[in-house]
Structure 1
Amino acid sequence: MARTGCNFDGSGRGRCQTGDCNGLLQCQGYGTPPNTLAEYALNQFNNLDFFDISLVDGFNVPMVALLSYGLPVGAITLAPCTELISIVCNSGNCGPTDLSRFFKTRCPDAYSYPKDDQTSTFTCPGGTNYDVIFCP
């Protein structure tokens, strides 16, 4: 999860402008929206890893996910966006909205609403190496 504008003291207490985790340096759950998420489920069905970049809880920084099979041979880049808009439908039971379509046209590989799996969830063989890069 991406967080911005953070300031913490020596005991790990503080605040972030986006993605705040109840004032904790080490999140115990999801941060406060808006936040861009990289989501991974490793070594799942048929020894596959599942991953996505999610904008369901909003967008706060551009992010790319790069992968390789042992050596950095190739990469899939999930297109970053530049708008800061929070998506209001994150209950898991709704379809695309005008706001999620706005994101989808700008970030076609990003997860933009709950159940947006067909165009936004990717798989790789278990044991794949990943880099998540927060873009300036």
Structure 2
Amino acid sequence: MSTDLFCEIIAGDRPAHVVHSDEVAVSFLDARPVFKGHVLVVPRVHVETLADLADVGPFFERVQAMARAVEEGLEAAGTFVAMNNRVSQSVAHLHVHVVPRNKKDGLRGFFWPRTTYSSTEEAESYAAMIAKAL
């Protein structure tokens, strides 16, 4: 049994502003939100990454519902939905960020630099390496 921060919230051993809870996932406000209304959706079962989650469908149904609820409930123009796997993952328990967005809210695209492929052949070789791993 894991004892990470999110497992403690799920067990009710640590306080959180819970937005929704069911047999699949628990959703609560991020303690350090990008914008007010920033929600974390976490699976009840302890898994570290998306690759570790056995039943992805029901979990992402909860993420989808939360994205709708954040937009509707906060009258947001949209949402930013994001997940880290290991790198930049502040808690080693799978979690999805659902952040309310509005035009001119100050959040500028992605937080990392972009790159380009040197050629079509290089891009095709990356696509082939990933496809082979599937």
Normalised to the residue count of structure 1, the TM-score between the two structures is 0.25
Higher strand share: 1
Higher helix share: 2
Normalised to the residue count of structure 2, the TM-score between the two structures is 0.25
